[in-house]
Amino acid sequence: MEQEQSSKKRLLVGLVILLVLLILGGLFWYFFGRSPEGGREGELFPFGTPSQDTERTEAGSSDTPAAGEGQQVSEINIEEPMFRQLANVPVLGAYALEREGIEYVRYIERETGHTYEVNVRDGSRKQLTNTTISRIQLADWAQNGNMVVLRHLEQDPLSGRDIIKTRLGRLDLSADSSSGEVGGMVLETLPDDITALSVAPDGKNLFYLVKTTNGVSGSMMNFDTRTKKRVFQNSFSEWLPQLLNDGTVMLTTKPSGKVEGYSYHFDPKTGNLVRLVREKQGLTTLGDGTGSRVLFGENIAKDAVLGVYSKSGFPADEGIVFYEKILLITALPEKCVWLSDNIHTVCGSFITTPSGLIPDLWYQGRLSFADTFWAANTDTDELAFLVDPKKEVGQEFDVMNPLLSVDQNYFIFTNKKDGTLWSMRIIQKQTANTSPVDTSGLSPAELEDVKGSLPQNTKPAQ
Amino acid sequence: MRSRTFILSIICSTGVLLFPSITFAAIDLITFQTTPQTPGPNQAVTLSLRSFAVDLDSAMLTWYIDKEVLQSGVGKKSVEVMTKDFGQTVTINVVIATSLGTRYDKQFLLRPVEVDLLWEADTVTPPFYKGKALPTYKSIVKATAISRFNSFTSDPSSSFHKWTTNYTQGLGEGLGKSSAIIPMKYSGSSVSVSVKVDNTGAEGGSGTATKNIVGVDPLLLFYEDAPLAGIRFDRALFGNIEVGGTAFTVRAAPYFFSNDDLVNANVIYSWFKDNVKIATGLDSNKLILGKEGSSAQSSALLLSLKNRNRVLQSASARLTVSFSQE
């Protein structure tokens, strides 16, 4: 009897142990082994890496494979090339717009001044204007891509001095495009010798600087009304401005690799000039749309380091607040773009800092980079390697004048090596099979968690 | 007569005895020192006491910050405090009890001060160049002080500025004198410039800033001047380059020569093609090369720039342009 009870006890204990092991095993599988439906695990933030299933195509291909039957095609076809050459001639200035859900980029052909619009998805191109303006040096788009600020040089016949001429070009697209007619550009003159200018991200206003006898004066111009108002004067004249949508201006001193630079935030309404970043060698900056965060480049021990400044600070342990921190990639802010959340950035980054003064050598055209592409989360400092174009498409890029498409799915840039215009597809979280994702069985919290990674055309299961 | 002499000697003796006391009375026996000298807002500052007349090492010092005791102890001559935002003051009081039984009360008002010293050289760079114009031999540099005394903006006309170079040589001073001109020396040598800014407004306060400015050599670069695209400033030309077509224009771009000398034609351009000096006409900063026939040709160019006013400002560059065979 006692023996029987003892063996029953042992069996019971064994069953309990087995049950515990099963539960533990299940929990382990649930938290560490399961791949969530519709995405890749381990993703730190919106960007992934090129899928191994992605068909590698040569850059410039405009073929878009048709969707299979019964398969919903996401707005970003996974077989779309990573890189697409949007213009195979040197361009000046690019502007991203969206129309009827399609992403376009407008640009100016450098040699002719003609403007074009290209479909980012399939590379199809349409000429917008045929007004020939040659020898343009710089172009800045405004007013939703309907205006452009053009700068070129003219030689003074008496002194031989180069005068900077600035003109405002308004695209006249009233021609009947269905019959193949092309529009023109109407030009207005702006003041001579504008040393630096900036168009607000919303394209509504222009801020420009002109040297005076005692320093520099800064004026604001509204593109709609063309009213100009002097809002800034300073004894120091070597500023690079960045106009923000709220009418304030970030002013950064012109950089040289071994000279300490400063960056300020100027409010024309109050006259306040608040210092943001101080005494950084080789300082270059890129503010987000609101000026609350600033990417800055700095030379530290011969390395071009990328950092970020925050007006509100980055909280650390024990209540300490830091206002600046370093991101572990080498890049210049002008090779980066901010996403609309003002947290994430995408950059063309050089792996190692070349010898010599940065950014001087790059500005002088004596140095060219071969960039790889990275994304950074300025909240968490996490970095994601996106792609090496040399390995992906056998091409080297020296990223210049970058911008994002309106839907933020494309990183658009000019290749400084030859002036051509390119787009890079930013991989988002999604599966190759874009059929509806079954979210049944997920708790509300889990559903909330995976919502951001669902493809746009995915509907939760009823 | 004797009485007058006696009275005079009494007066003189009194003066001699009192003079040191009067002199010492005019000197602050104990002074404050901050590190950094001009702390900005929300910044850690070390505040120290100094004295050549009072033995602070053996004195009992009690520090109060905004009326609350921060620290107390013998010989505690320094504390670390944080400045607040612009517009806010930190009040520090120190009670000093010496070993001899003498008591001193000192107060220090800590307000954020920012004095930034920016400088720019009056030297040439190509149009649209985003980099800084650097100073060269005997070029002129203008330094500008941007200061803020306990507010987000300060009117420079309400501050007294005192400028010095190399720590001792005055560069001028005055109310509202927010800029100073500094003559540079040789390439590679450093010139220091300092400014002390005293705010004469209600807020008071003062701050200083110092910068060392290093001279460099001028630079000369070549760029293509394309007929339709214009000057390609984004790609400098050097070494051997191969070009197509029948004409190629080389544009010379000097960097960091003094602006006034370029305007006054003191900078002399000397072009050489295949070691032979050539004339370029009115436009001395560009050279048009033409191809003769259809066979491949190359030209070795040398350009030398010399500033006859500032003789150590000079630069040269070489380029070989090869037309390909058609």
Whether residue B316 is found in the same domain as residue B260: yes
Whether residue B125 is found in the same domain as residue B173: yes
Whether residue B159 is found in the same domain as residue B254: no
Last residue of a domain, one of B158, B179, B214: B214
Whether B187 has its CB under 8 Å from any CB of chain A: the answer is no
* pLDDT at A431 > cutoff 70: no
- Which residue in the set B127, B214, B236 is minimally distant from A365, CB to CB? B236
- Which residue in the set B118, B120, B230 is minimally distant from A135, CB to CB? B230
Last residue of a domain, one of B214, B246, B264: B214
Q: Do the chains contact at B129 and A363, CB–CB below 8 Å?
A: yes
At A7, phi and psi to the nearest 5? -70, -35
Mean pLDDT is lowest, of A21-30, B88-97, B251-260, for A21-30
What local confidence, expressed as pLDDT, does residue B24 receive? 46
Predicted structure pTM score = 0.80
* Interface ipTM: 0.81
- Cα angle: B229, vertex B234, B237; to 5 degrees: 95
Distance from the B228 Cα atom to the nearest Cα atom in chain A, whole angstroms: 5
Provide the domain count of chain B: 3
- The fold of A44-64+74-428 is Methylamine Dehydrogenase; Chain H (2.130.10)
Instruction: Return the amino acid letter for B201.
Output: G
The tens digit of pLDDT for each residue in B75-88 reads: 999 999 988 877 78
Q: Do the chains contact at B131 and A112, CB–CB below 8 Å?
A: no
| Three-state secondary structure call for residue B144 | strand
Q: What is the rounded CA–CA span in Å between residue B286 and residue A241?
A: 31
Residue B152's pLDDT band (boundaries 50, 70, 90)? low
Whether B114 has its CB under 8 Å from any CB of chain A: the answer is yes
* pLDDT at B62 > cutoff 50: yes
Whether residue B118 is found in the same domain as residue B83: no
Whether B283 has its CB under 8 Å from any CB of chain A: the answer is yes
Task: Decide if B82 is inside a domain.
Answer: yes
Residues of A in contact with B155 (CB under 8 A): none
Q: What is the mean pLDDT of residues A65-73?
A: 35
What local confidence, expressed as pLDDT, does residue A22 receive? 78
Domain boundaries, chain A: 44-64+74-428
| Three-state secondary structure call for residue A421 | strand
Mean pLDDT is lowest, of A18-27, A50-59, B70-79, for A50-59
Task: Decide if B4 is inside a domain.
Answer: no
The tens digit of pLDDT for each residue in B282-312 reads: 789 999 999 988 888 999 999 999 999 999 9
Whether residue B234 is found in the same domain as residue B300: yes
Q: What is the mean pLDDT of residues B65-93?
A: 90
Mean pLDDT is lowest, of A72-86, A284-298, A307-321, B7-21, for B7-21
Residues of A in contact with B229 (CB under 8 A): 90, 110-111, 134-135
Q: Which residue has the higher pLDDT, B141 or A300?
A: B141
Whether residue B122 is found in the same domain as residue B45: no
What percent of chain A shows pLDDT beyond 70? 78
Q: What is the mean pLDDT of residues B262-280?
A: 94
Whether residue B125 is found in the same domain as residue B204: yes
Q: Which residue has the higher pLDDT, B120 or B23?
A: B120
Pairing of strands B179-183, B140-149: antiparallel
- Starting at the earlier edge strand, list the strands of the sheet with A162-172: A136-142, A147-155, A162-172, A184-189
Task: Decide if B126 is inside a domain.
Answer: yes
Distance from the B48 Cα atom to the nearest Cα atom in chain A, whole angstroms: 24
Cβ atoms within 10 Å of A225's Cβ, excluding its own: 7
The tens digit of pLDDT for each residue in B228-255 reads: 999 999 999 999 999 999 999 999 999 9
From the list A344, A355, A349, A354, the residue with the least C-alpha distance to A330 is A349
* pLDDT at B281 > cutoff 80: no
Torsion sign, CA atoms A367, A372, A373, A376: negative
Q: For residue A322, give Cα distances in angstroms to A276, A314, A315, B18, B193.
A: 13, 5, 6, 55, 31
Q: Do the chains contact at A270 and B153, CB–CB below 8 Å?
A: yes
Quote the domain boundaries for residue B76: 28-110
The tens digit of pLDDT for each residue in B153-197 reads: 677 888 899 999 988 888 899 999 999 999 999 999 999 999 999
- Cα angle: B49, vertex B52, B55; to 5 degrees: 70
Write the CATH number for B225.
2.60.40.10
Residue A70's pLDDT band (boundaries 50, 70, 90)? very low
Residues of B in contact with A400 (CB under 8 A): 234
* pLDDT at B23 > cutoff 70: no
Whether residue B280 is found in the same domain as residue B210: no
What local confidence, expressed as pLDDT, does residue B22 receive? 45
Last residue of a domain, one of B179, B199, B214: B214
Residue recorded with tokens 């000279």: A259
Residue A8's pLDDT band (boundaries 50, 70, 90)? confident
Q: What is the rounded CA–CA span in Å between residue B254 and residue A401?
A: 25
